[in-house]
Amino acid sequence: MRHALGVIGVLAAGVLLAVSAAMNWRFGYSLGKTEFDGLIYGSASAAADCLKALVPFFFFAAWRNRMWSQAAASVLVWVVVTAYSLTSALGHAALNRMDSTGQRAIEAQAYKDLRADLKRAQEQLSWVPQHRPASAVQGEIDGLKSTREWSFTQGCTSVTGPQGRKFCQDFHGLSSELASAEQAGVLEARIAEVQKKLGKVDAGSVMAEADPQAAVLTKLAGIFVPGLTVEDMQTTLTIFIALLLEVGSGFGMYIAFSQWRLYDRHAPAAPAMASVAQSVSVAAPKVLTIGKARAGANDNKTAAKLVAPETDVERFHKERVDKKEGSSVTSTELYEDYCTWCEDQEKEPLALPTFCREFGELGVVKAKIAGRVRHIGIALKSSRETEEDKKLPALATQAA
């Protein structure tokens, strides 16, 4: 389960790192005047972003080994590359948000314009008087032009007599009706065109806010921060996205790899207490003893017994721990004394969980008392020596 979580964490951190590196690549590429210069800047930006993810490993390794100059250099490098990466992330996030919100605003405005144009055309169409189809009216006008009155009135330009006036009134009435029919035809064509354009638009998307996320968050945050605007929320979201990428890509790998305990030393399992008693000495190398077979057995049959070397935890137990009835030592005190012993021996101490596990395999009883884990029946030699040192002045005074 632990390894599965580690793999998932590495994959998630890798995605964040790839996205951040891609943003840095685009930002660096845009700085070059030529294509080659852009490739140089883009490669350097991507490499700096990858270095940002590796610096935590270098820093904590240097801190663990007490190499302060390397730790300080790691901090300096991390600050520089993270600041550079943060600027590119902010620019990229802001540009994308502005482009998307601006495009939605343009689409919404275009939709509103089409709706207004459609309403205006429909209103104009309602103002047009009642009329017959233009073709029918045009046919009647052509019929009037073929009559004798049309020639007599010279196309209704010279009207005389009641018959001529009536003829011209009918002609002008038909001309007005034809104009209304033609105007109605133009408006109907315009309405059909606008409706066709509106049919291609997703009304649900253009009727919403240009930035729905920022609008909703602004309303919610306005309860606690009056006067907050959508532009302020957009800026906050841009900063938040940039921080998400930088923190996730910068520390994601280090956190994910912690599942494998990269800095733990995997010491061999401690042998049983009986085997410890059979070891020759503290610094004894591997000892191979060969015992002869019992009398009556074949002489060429031997039994080999291999004694495993002592681990650091076993040596610490032998050198710094005494058995003492009625005494107990907390895990913290035991581990601190173990770290001091490792420092004296110029050895790298194990992590606290690993040390407690290996120490518990030596047969020491462990119990939880008053909320603290204590090892029963043992005492530290360093503590006993400290108590004896405190008694020395009193003994000297009595002797005087």
Cα–Cα dist 241/218, whole Å: 17
Of 245, 241, 231, residue with least CA distance to 101: 231
Query: What is the predicted pLDDT for the residue at 384?
Result: 60
Minimal CA–CA distance to 374: which of 339, 338, 332?
Answer: 332
Residue pair 339/298 in contact (Cβ under 8 Å)? The answer is no
8 Å CB contact between 318 and 282: yes
Place of tokens 């841009």: 238
Among the listed residues 111, 51, 42, the one whose alpha carbon sits nearest the alpha carbon of residue 79: 51
pLDDT tens for each residue of 293-344: 344 444 444 444 455 678 888 888 888 898 888 888 888 888 899 899 898 8
Residue in 171, 143, 140, 166 with CA at minimum distance from that of residue 155: 171
What are 237-276's pLDDT values in tens digits?
Answer: 888 888 888 888 888 888 877 766 555 554 444 444 444 4
User: Which residues are CB-neighbours of 395 under 8 A, at least 6 positions away?
Assistant: none
The proportion of the chain whose per-residue pLDDT surpasses 70, expressed as a percent, equals 80
Sketch the domain layout of the chain as residue ranges.
Answer: 1-263, 312-399
Higher pLDDT, 183 or 263: 183
- Please, which pLDDT band fits residue 397 given cuts at 50, 70 and 90? very low
- As a whole number, mean pLDDT of residues 42-61 equals 88
Q: Inform me whether the pLDDT recorded for 206 exceeds 80.
A: no
What is the mean predicted confidence (pLDDT) over 197-225?
77
Count Cβ atoms below 10 Å from residue 274 Cβ, excluding itself.
7
pLDDT of residue 276: 41
User: What's this model's pTM, rounded to 2 decimal places?
Assistant: 0.43
| Contact between 263 and 64 (Cβ < 8 Å) | yes
Q: Cβ contacts of residue 122 below 8 Å, gap of 6+?
A: 191
For residue 148, pLDDT beyond 60: yes
CA angle, residues 75, 79, 84, in degrees to nearest 5? 150
Structure tokens of 173?
């009435």
Q: Provide the mean pLDDT of the chain.
A: 79
H-run or E-run covering 375? strand 372-380
The C-alpha atoms of residue 93 and residue 90 are separated, in whole angstroms, by 5
User: What is the C-alpha to C-alpha distance for residues 235 and 318, in angstroms, rounded to an integer?
Assistant: 63
Nearest to 323 by CA among 369, 384, 274, 367: 384
Between the CA atoms of 330, 312, 318 and 341, what dihedral angle is there, to the nearest 10 degrees? -60
- Assigned token pair, 220: 């919610």
Q: Tokens representing 49?
A: 């972003």
Q: Does domain 312-399 have CATH number 2.120.10.30?
A: no
